[in-house]
Amino acid sequence: MQTEQLVHNINLKINGKPQNIEIEPWVCLLDVLRDHCDLTGTKKGCDHGQCGACTVIVDGKRVLSCLTLAVSKHGSEIKTIEGIANGEDLHPVQKAFIEHDAFQCGYCTPGQICSAVAMLEEGKAQTREEIQDSMSGNLCRCGANSNIIDAIMDVKKNHYEQL
């Protein structure tokens, strides 16, 4: 008995570039980014949505790409760590992570940066405690959490309060 394989065509705009991808309906967005688009900056951590290493920005919102079926994002605009900088000009969050030594091993850094950029754009978290709470879904096992929050606070103060 032969089974018919289901394949869907999805259109995504990834880091500003239109992509047409043929994908099985069970493939997660993380695997599409890494395996089909060769965007390996987004990391596969726990593969259960608990660590945040796979965080990307979909239509302006933070999304755990390991838990998101790619077919559900047909027509969406996706920004990965590769699309955060403007060419060679780093995003203020990326600069602040460097200035505040907000990474050690660096594995969680792409998800942390994507999450921080989207959180700052949301404008909801105002205090250090609110930022810490809003970033709690992104784990740093190396212990750079206080430096990560310092970096985000610096960007908030110097780039988002002036808007």
pLDDT in tens, 117-137: 999 999 999 999 999 999 999
Q: Are 93 and 152 in contact (CB under 8 A)?
A: yes
State pTM to two decimals.
0.94
Domain ranges for the chain: 8-83, 92-160
8-83 to CATH, choices 3.40.50.720, 3.10.20.30, 3.40.605.10, 3.90.950.10: 3.10.20.30
pLDDT in tens, 75-95: 999 999 999 999 999 999 999
Report the CATH superfamily, name and number, of domain 92-160: [2Fe-2S]-binding domain (1.10.150.120)
Cα–Cα distance between 163 and 13 in angstroms, integer? 27
Closest alpha carbon to 113 in 92, 87, 127: 92
